[in-house]
Structure 1
Amino acid sequence: MQTKTVSPVFVGRAPERSALTEGLAEATDGRPQAVLIGGEAGVGKTRLVEEFLRQAGEAGAVTAVGACVEVGADGLPFAPVSTVLRALHRQLGEELTQAAAGFGGELARLLPELGEPSAAVRAARDVEVRGRLFELTGRLLETLAQERVLALVIEDLHWSDTSTRELLSYLFRSLQGGRVMIVTTYRSDDIHRRHPLRPFLAELDRLRTVQRLELPRFTREEVRSQLAGIRGSRPPEDLLDQVYRRSDGNAFFVEELASISDGCGSGGISDSIRDLLLVRVEALPETAQSVVRVAAKGGSKVEYGLLRAVAGLGEDELIASLRAAVGASILRAAEDGTYRFRHALVREAVDDDLLPGERSRLSRQYAQALEAEPTLVPAGERAARLATFWYHAHDPAKALPAVVRAATGARCQHAYAEQLQLLERALELWDDAPAEVKRSLEVAEDAESYPLCDCGDEALSFLDMLAEMTLAARYAGEPERGLSVINRALRSLERLDHPLRAAWFWAEKSRLMRNLGRGTGWEELGTAQELLRGFDPSPVHARVLTEAALWGAVFDPGPGSLAIARRAVELAREVGDENAELNALLSRGGLLIETGRGESGVADMRGVLERVVHSDLVGVFTRSHINLQSLLQSMGRSEESLEVAEEGIELAYRYGLADTQSWLHGNRSDALFSLGRWAEAEEAALSARRSGQMPVTRSLAAQRLARLALAHGDLAAAETEIAAMREHHRPYHGAAAQYAHAAAEYQIALAAHQGRILDARRLFADVAAVGLGTGSGSYTWPMLAAAAEAESAARGVPAAAPGQPEAVAAIRAYASGIRRDYPVWVGYAALVEAELRRAEGTSRAADWAAAVAAFEKVCRPFELARMRTRWAEALLAEGERERAGDLLVRAQAVAVRLGAGPLRAQTERLARRARLPLTAGGAGAAGPGEPETFGLTRRERDVLTLVAAGRSNRQIAEELFISPKTASVHVSNILAKLEVAGRGEAAALAHRLGIVSTEIATPA
């Protein structure tokens, strides 16, 4: 007779059930939903999900469940997603196959039932098809969800592999249509500070379509209801008190305690949780206990056939034992023929109770059974699970090749973090493995221009594996681990004569040294170039020369570097290395922009982007969108920069490149700040900080937050962020203009805001003395503007007077050597000169009018407002009060909208001194040559009329016969031109200034 331990009555969870029901209703209406359910182990997440699936099924939804398994962390990527797709395939059969028609071969990586991967897929570079895999998974789900609701559950996300998290992140962001609801569960008590799920959850919190639920423990009354369901009658008060006290409201422990309370008394079990979990296992017959121990070593799930092969029992005896374990609520049978522990805590306790020799013996038996009959587990899981079994069997001869094969499989699924973990296990096993096994390994197939091993040499096989690890570390965002691998490879190469291999590793080290902020990487790059002297051109030559061109674009953006980039393009084409060619084209394009040939440079880079997106060239993507995005921003083309950012961020999430996400979010913050969208700029900077994995990206995130803090007037926050910026990436501050000058800009600005003019002057003198390349106006002009503004602010300060003429002369001399090829650079040049003249006491209104005119050619509301304030000051000195008053009103309106505290205070002080009212009377007055319509086109005025009437973008599109996307673009342009934050403010301003008619019908 079995004891009932699970309440047949579902207890509590009314708010959570309501949220799930509402989410399902939203999904049924065609709006995809995602819900993350967290809670401690045993709190009832699975029971809640089972109840949800039951209700969804009754409502006609197709349901499927997948669960992450602990082996996932050792290299079993996408396991829960594959399980979900397999369940859908069992239910929908041919319909799913038809939905995948045309790309089933590509999805076969996740669902082998769709057939073998196509020849094109097998021939494709591994790093080029990860994004395609994500995209096609989303497309398949959207197609299947057109005719039905899909309710999909993925449990135990705390065990998820990196690739599963990245795929889920992509689906949560990209699913736009179809009736899909995805529910995931995770143990919140397992999510420690460094747990990989923590940043994933933080990023998802930003998505409106993702809801997080946290399950609390049961109250005393809920425990009473649970016990009543288990026992079939109301529990005595003393039993309720005992169970509630000992379980602390954890639903699983309530069940365990309920099953042993009758007749055992309060002292019938140990206070140890482990002993509590083992009580029911120890109550099973001996044979059933043995089967449970075997199942525990098989992982979170184990197939019946595999369990039978390892247990060594006859079928009748095995089934009887399994029936006893299932009846005792220790194991549960799944529809896919696997057995799982009803609760992971029980499996962990059973596994922990095994003897050391027993663990390795069972692992060996699992591995041998799987080798003898590979079909016992799904094909997509075979390599990873076999590698895990052999590894835990402590047999290096068998484990090493198994682990390397699993790493290859992880790479084919673009699961770089899992690939790196597996290859690290291979390193751990290397010294103990037989020489013949090591010589037979095939590890590196396409290590970006790396010269592969073509003989059975043990040392070269080892180097091939290290090369593969180097790239896996780079793509996984693990630069420290990558550098450690490179150093190990270079130590090995000291005993060997293989210059090409050594040059490849030195080039990779150059890149990592830059990214880690441990120097410029030039010394390492020089070593690589020296090693190649005397050899015929090869892909390694192209790789090294391309890296040199990239170095020049960062550290010496001038004609010499442009010549290197051109040679790199030619060499890459000569040796047929597409990756090197496109990377060299990016450097050439960037250098053309920096040297004044903007349109040619942008054309180069847009050509690369097109090829990257079309062919999923991940090795080039890590630069392509970042570089074009940044350079468009530097040219004053912020709107175009944002367009590139949106595409780049989507691809970065698809490919799972966290540090690339950080660069893209950071550059996006720059564009948003320039456009006066500061709240979005701050959120982008925070996203850059969350996803940044290298010192350089963390430093840049702090830099963007420092800029915002200074603009808002929060000097304490600015000081904190500047300290973080210097801490993360100090060496860069004296190495490249794009880092050193930007870092100096905010340190100078902070010193000036705090009245430390001598410190500001010294900071500029220090950075100028380094002698960095000044070919880039992108970073150098803003630094010069900050230095000039500091001197302007010091006018009349006695302590700053000594040395000011020399300081002004130094800034002017430095500025004379900076290029002025684009309107925004011309504007900064005019701004710097105007500030210097103000410092000298010779400022004229015409100086500021010229600066304003230059900046009016680009969208820079904050800079315009600052310069209009200075212009107003000069006009007042020249007696033109009316024009000055209009400029102050407009500048103050921008300062208020942006929350620019110092600028607002400056405009108000100037207005008080001049006895000018800061009212709306002059707010809409036109400047010289500026129409009252603020430059709005006829179509934009039509759109503004409808915005003022309260119409949504969709309603505007319907009334004007345009697409919703076009309507959205028009609204964004209107907000920018009117320099307002939102639709309501735009409508109010339009009515006040008479831009639109007030006689507009209210929307239906």
Structure 2
Amino acid sequence: MTGPAGGRSPVAVRGKRIIGRTDELEQLARAIREGRRLVLVMGGVGIGKTRLVAQAAQEARDNGTVVVEASCLPLDVRLPLLPVIDMLRSLDRAVGRPAVEEIVAGLPPDASDELARLVPELIGHQVGPDVLPAAEWKRQRMFAAVDLVLTRVARHRPVLVVVEDLHWIDMATLDLLTYLRASSRGSITMVVTCRSDEAPLDPLVARWIEQARRPETERLDLAGLSRPAMAELAEQALGGTPDDGLVEELHRRTEGNPYFAEELIAAAAGGQLTRQPPRALADLLVARARRVSVPARGVLSALAVAGRPVPETVVARATGMTADEVASALHELIDARLAVPDSVRPELGCRTQHALLAEAVVGDLLADERRDVYAGMAAALESVEDPALSAEIAGHWSAAGRPADELRLLLDAADHSHRMRAYSPAADLWQRATTIAEKLPDAAEKLGVEPGWLRVRTIDALQACGRDLDAAHLTEETHARHHDSAGGALLAAVLHRTAWHRGVIAQREAPPSTAYGLFDEASRIYRALPESAEYARLLADHARFMWMDSCDSASGSVYRTALAVAERCGAVHEIADALSGLAEVAFLHGDPAEGFALLDRAREAVRHPSDTELTPRIDYFIAEYHSNALLKTGQLAAAERVAREGLERARRMGATSGYSAAVLHHNAVEALLERGFVDAVAELVADVRDRQPGLDDWNLHLYQAQVEICRGELDAAVARTRSVDRLGLAGPRMWMYERIRLLPRAALWARDPAAALGQVEPALALLSGCDVEQFCGELLALGARAVADLAETARARRDRDAERAAHADADRLGDVLHRMRGRPFVDHPFLATIAGDRADWQAELCRVRGVRDPDAWAQAAGVWQRLGRPHRRAYALLRQAQVIVATARNPTAAADVLRAAAEAAADMVPLTAAIRRLAQRSRISLAPTRTLAPAAPEPEDPYGLTNRERLVLGLLAQGRTNAQIGTELFMSPKTASVHVSNILRKLGVANRAAAAAVGERAGLTGLDA
């Protein structure tokens, strides 16, 4: 690419790897290899022509091609044949002076004289003073001389002639290129670059380019870089991964022009792009704009402030020009490559050639002049009377310094965005309108606007699109601002939003218990006012929070009151909201059929709403409750489907983050994970893999940790769960339960049972004393597993104190279960996993006490198989096989169980590894078999070794120490030493090496430990 004055850009000088031009580079390289006579590379300023050609030329040079380079210069008086002189000197550098002297020595005298006119220092003598002979036959002789030199070089090696910046070429050199293209013989290829946006382009050059359209000519028209290529360019320039927003802004403003992008990055401050292009770049862009007529500059200014294609009628209104004047000015701008019609829909009008050109033109206007142009464009667009343009017009009024007009249009724009379900833009527009209304109370009053209600609408829009944290921050700010000054319905609305966000998006510094008083205060205010949809919504949110925090059955009566108020007010959304909440109450209180029927009623209520503004909030709640109910009742595939459908609706509405979408994500990934579909879960939570957890995505990080556990990345899983724990989340207890139940898994698989137990016990204390206890079976089972691991380790180490401590831990868990009146393990029609959690709990307690009961684990495995949870089943089967191996006379008795465990453990790396270790120690092949093959005959043993001693001998033959043998066979080093002594005595040898040799010769070491 070339810089502002035609010199090489910093990119080309630094020689960095070319980006985003793989296809073009291959096309150019192929044309050079095939010996195309002419290759024409076209593109706008800074698009990367020079860089592309330089890369291709270097590759050709590396392959033995002689590369001859020349450049045209932007001189006021174009001196003839300067590029030809450059070309001949480049040839001297490429092949060396001796080779040039040899070629010149073989030239006819007249050819030598013609070349001496151009480069006497290479030819070795001077000729007459004429630089360009007047007679045409003399010019032809000079052209023939240059052709002859290149042809002689090409006899031995291919020749590539590169001529840069054809748009500045002199006519004599242009004629030479025409001559070379027509008459050169041998392997000579010419590559010529030319700006496609140069205006005015010399007519002879334009005609030459047009005439170059022939079969033997290859033409490359370079477009802007793609967005991924722009991201790569930004990463190269910054030396690190750029922010997505930065890449998006770079691509939008530069339209993929790499030179423009690098200039913007170079001028960036603190990683933030400047609002105006750098001065040098702005001067480059504006210089051409100053060459056109005054009317054309006026139209260009209008197009620049518009920043998009604008119809001629709008331009005419904005500038006060006639239609004919605008048309004439646009033709002039298009000819000057300063404006272009819309490429997809030309009827939309014209825009500036580049977004950066628009910025530079606007920046070049004087302050008053700029305000007038913006005001003219705002008024012109208002006359179109299109509500979709309201936000754009508001921006123009803002740039024109007219805040009252801006407020008027912001309100229209926010209402329009909300009607179109574009909730995030609506929130931003209302927030901007709030700022102006609070600064200009007279203007707000004139429009009949109360700033406090604007804040409430902003909070609701933020929540609707999933920006819960933004909503929570604005809520606290609004509460602080209006709590003492507002009254009536506004105060109740502010208290309502504050209660919800303190209750649900709470951290430790704002415990959720503070929400109850705010809900009660808001309810008292509403009861003194006429019934309204706002009151019904408050009641439903109050009931929902009570339910999420304690599963309190009293929430049912509050939901029913909300439903009655909503029905009397005809508030469709609030009716659906209350019905969804009543469904969850029905589910947990033992009536799933009633719960699903209520969800059906909720869906029916919003299927044909009385107005067109169906907020996604209600849609989300129905999808949340439905997918969660399916999940809890064990209908995993259906739960995944409903959750995914809800997420798709959220995506279409631009609300894929925040509370509602988080719950849907949660339900979808749990349904997949429980069925063992690890890769599908990884795909759903891939966005969080490389970032730190936050207040709005902690649940996805916990499921990413589950993916890492399944893939054996245990250190990463532990670190991620710790990061989530450090967030200090509080919130309602059901949220706490959903978070805490996932935390201990990483510690358990990372063999840190003490850490897992340290997570389980505080969680059980937090969740006890309310109906959330019914969900605690899994936590109790995980706690029992941690205690069992501690007890087994203590027994293996003969650490009686640690074993007694483990028993005390188990007793504490039993006390918790007793205080919960056994509710976590009482069968419930809504909670399908209770039977499996209960079976795990009982089997783990056997393990704590050292009781080897394979039937307990078989029962657990059977429950998990019926529930379709393969990894949980595989864990139970592994434990069952361990008990069988430890108690059976022949360890291979566990073969069928272990093979079933291996099959169920697919995609669960730590579990699969444990199964394989046990299979290896027990001489069990995990390959599936339809029928049991007859057992191989035992090797004849004249020494009378027991099976256990053969296992020890096998490990001894592998060079294992007594301690290592003890670890492999679950015995103490002292016991291993006794076995080794017995083996030495029975084999009649004096040492371990001799025993290994005798055992190998006798075929006694084939048992794989």
Q: TM-score range by the shorter chain?
A: 0.5 to 0.7
Checking the alignment, whether the CA contact within 8 Å between 1:542 and 1:572 is kept in structure 2 is: yes
Tell me the equivalent position of 1:685: 685
Q: Distance in 1 between matches of 2:435 and 2:365?
A: 24
Equivalent-residue separation in structure 2 for 1:876 and 1:13 (angstroms): 63
Question: For residues 613 and 825 of structure 1, do their structure 2 counterparts lie closer, same or farther at Cα, with a shift above 3 Å needed?
Answer: farther
Q: Which of these residues, 649, 667, 671, is aligned with residue 651 of structure 1?
A: 649
2:396 pairs with 1:392 = no
Q: 1:520: how far off? A: 5.3
Please say if 1:523 is aligned against 2:514. Answer: yes
Deviates more, 1:629-638 or 1:594-603: 594-603
Distance 1:800 1:688 in 2: 39
Counterpart residue type for residue 548 of structure 2? V
Q: Which of the two has higher C-alpha Rg?
A: 2
Report Cα offsets for 1:787-836 as digits up to 9, x if no partner: 11111112231373242222112223334231431442111111111111
1:405 shift after superposition: 1.4
- 1:479 and 2:468 correspond: yes
Distance apart, 1:390 and its partner CA: 1.6
Q: How does 1:646-725 map to 2 (within 5 A)?
A: 646-659=644-657, 660-687=660-687, 695-725=694-724
Task: Deviation per CA, 1:660-687: give whole Å up to 9, x if none.
Answer: 4443233211111111111111112225
- Residue range with higher mean Cα deviation, 485-494 or 787-796: 485-494
In 2 relative to 1, CA 794–500 (structure 1 residues): closer, same or farther, beyond 3 Å?
Answer: same
Counterparts in 2 of 1:557 and 1:902: CA distance versus 1, 3 Å: same
- In the other structure, the counterpart of 1:568 is 562
Alignment check: 8 A CA contact 1:787 1:811 kept? yes
Alpha-carbon distance in 2 for matches of 1:408, 1:582: 23
For residue 503 of structure 1, give the secondary structure of its aligned residue in structure 2: helix
CA distance 1:494–1:855, shift in 2 (3 Å): closer
1:907-918 matches, cutoff 5 A: 907-918=915-926
- For 1:683, give the aligned amino acid: E
Q: Is this contact kept in 1: 2:631–2:639, CA < 8 A?
A: yes
Aligned residue identity for 1:532: S
Is the CA contact 1:848–1:871 (under 8 Å) kept in the aligned structure 2?
Answer: yes
The reply to whether residue 870 of structure 1 matches residue 866 of structure 2 is no
TM-score normalised according to structure 2 size: 0.61
Q: Who is 1:599 aligned against?
A: 593
Alpha-carbon contact 1:516-1:694 (below 8 Å) kept: no
Matched, 1:631 2:629: yes
- Distance in 2 between residues matched to 1:44 and 1:612, nearest whole Å: 55
Q: Which amino acid aligns with 1:781?
A: G
2:356 alignment partner, one of 339, 345, 350: 345
1:358 corresponds in structure 2 to: 369
The 3 A distance-change label for structure 1 pair 198 and 504 is: farther
Using the TM superposition, give the Cα deviation of residue 472 of structure 1 relative to its aligned residue in structure 2, in angstroms: 1.6
For the 8 Å contact 2:289–2:297, the answer to whether it is kept is yes
What is the distance in 1 between the residues matched to 2:756 and 2:528?
Answer: 51
1:715 shift after superposition: 1.5
> Equivalent residue of 2:827, what SS?
coil
Q: Which runs of 5+ in 2 are unaligned?
A: 1-5, 7-19, 28-42, 50-223, 235-240, 264-277, 934-1009
1:532 is paired with a residue whose SS is helix
Distance (whole Å) between structure 2 residues aligned to residue 700 and residue 41 of structure 1: 49
Residue 767 of structure 1 is aligned with which of 754, 763, 766?
Answer: 763
- 1:340 counterpart SS class: strand
Q: What SS does structure 2 have at the residue aligned with 1:439? A: helix
Structure 1 residues 505-514 or 273-282, which shifts more?
A: 505-514
1:116-140 superposed Cα distances (whole Å, 9 cap, x missing partner): xxxxxxxxxxxxxxxxxxxxxxxxx
Whole-Å separation in 1 of the counterparts to 2:787 and 2:260: 68
Amino acid of the residue matched to residue 911 of structure 2? L
For residue 805 of structure 1, the aligned residue among 788, 804, 807 is 807
Q: Aligned equivalents of 2:478 and 2:802: distance in 1? A: 55
Change (3 A) 1:765 1:572: same
Amino acid at match of 2:361: V
Q: Secondary structure at the match of 1:394?
A: coil
Q: Give 1:848 shift.
A: 1.8
> 1:511 aligned to 2:520?
no
- Separation of aligned partners in 2, 1:752 and 1:694: 21
Distance 1:486 1:587 in 2: 24
Secondary structure of residue in 2 paired with 1:272: helix
Q: Give, in angstroms, the shift of residue 856 of structure 1.
A: 2.5
Structure 2 counterparts to residues 881-920 of structure 1, below 5 A: 884-895=894-905, 897-898=906-907, 900-920=908-928
Please give the alpha-carbon distance, in whole angstroms, between the structure 1 residues aligned to 2:465 and 2:45.
Answer: 29
Using CA pairs under 8 Å that are at least 6 residues apart, name the structure with larger relative contact order, 1 or 2.
Answer: 1
Counterpart AA for 1:806:
A
CA–CA distance in structure 1, aligned partners of residues 302 and 348 of structure 2? 17
TM-score (norm 1): 0.61
Asked whether the equivalents of residues 462 and 470 of structure 2 are also in contact (C-alpha less than 8 Å), the reply is yes
Name the SS for the 2:861 alignment partner: helix
Aligned 8 A contact 1:509 1:521 in 2: no
- Native 8 Å contact 1:663 1:688 kept in 2: no
Alignment of 1:100-499 (within 5 A): 189=230, 195=244, 272-334=280-342, 335-336=346-347, 338-371=349-382, 374-375=383-384, 379-433=386-440, 435=442, 437-441=443-447, 461-496=450-485, 498-499=487-488
- Find the residue that maps to 1:820 and give its secondary structure: coil
Listed as ranges, the matches of 1:528-547 within 5 Å are 528-533=519-524, 535=528, 537-547=531-541
Does the C-alpha gap of structure 1 residues 341 and 283 become closer, same or farther in structure 2, counting only changes over 3 Å? same
Distance 1:304 1:41, change over 3 A: same
Task: Tell me: CA distance 1:617–1:497, structure 2 relative to 1, closer, same or farther (3 Å).
Answer: closer
8 Å contact kept, 2:709–2:746: yes
Matched-pair contact (CA < 8 Å) for 1:590–1:601: yes
Contact 1:42 1:343 in 2 (8 A): no
In structure 2, the CA distance between the partners of 1:657 and 1:634, relative to structure 1 (3 Å rule), is same
Query: Per-residue CA shift, 1:319-374, capped at 9, x if unaligned?
Result: 43332222101012443152211222211111121222222122222334445xx1
SS of the equivalent of 2:303 reads helix
Q: Aligned pair 1:855/2:864, yes or no? A: yes
The one-letter code matched in structure 2 to 1:362 is V
Match of 2:854 in 1: 845
Match of 1:551 in 2: 545
1:495 deviates by 4.6
Aligned match for 2:572, one of 561, 570, 578: 578
Q: Does 1:621 align with 2:610?
A: no
CA offset digits 1:465-494 (Å, max 9, x no partner): 222211122123333432343344434534
Q: Is the 8 A contact 1:298 1:366 kept in 2?
A: yes
Structure 1 unmatched ranges of 5 or more: 6-11, 20-38, 46-182, 202-213, 219-245, 251-269, 442-455, 926-1004
| 1:388–1:327 CA distance, 2 compared to 1 (3 A) | same
**What is the CA–CA distance in structure 2 between the aligned matches of 1:306 and 1:248, rounded to whole Å?**
31
**Structure 1, residues 242-275: CA drift from partner, whole Å, max 9, x if none?**
xxxx89999xxxxxxxxxxxxxxxxxxx992221
Q: Aligned in 2, Cα 1:369/1:360: closer, same or farther, shift over 3 Å?
A: same
3-state SS of the aligned residue for 2:866? coil
Q: What is the CA deviation profile of residues 423-479 of structure 1, one whole-angstrom value per residue up to 9, with x for unaligned ones?
A: 2222232245361x32243xxxxxxxxxxxxxx5x6xx2222222211122123333
Which amino acid counterpart does residue 757 of structure 2 have in structure 1?
Answer: R
Residue 586 of structure 1: how far off its partner (Å): 1.8
From the superposition, tell whether residues 604 and 694 of structure 1 become closer, same or farther in structure 2 (CA, over 3 Å): farther
Cα distance in 2, alignment partners of residues 199 and 565 from structure 1: 45
**Identical pairs, percent:** 21
Name the CA distance, whole Å, in 2 between partners of 1:200 and 1:834.
Answer: 59
Deviations 1:513-542 (A, max 9, x none): 345343454423422322432526543332
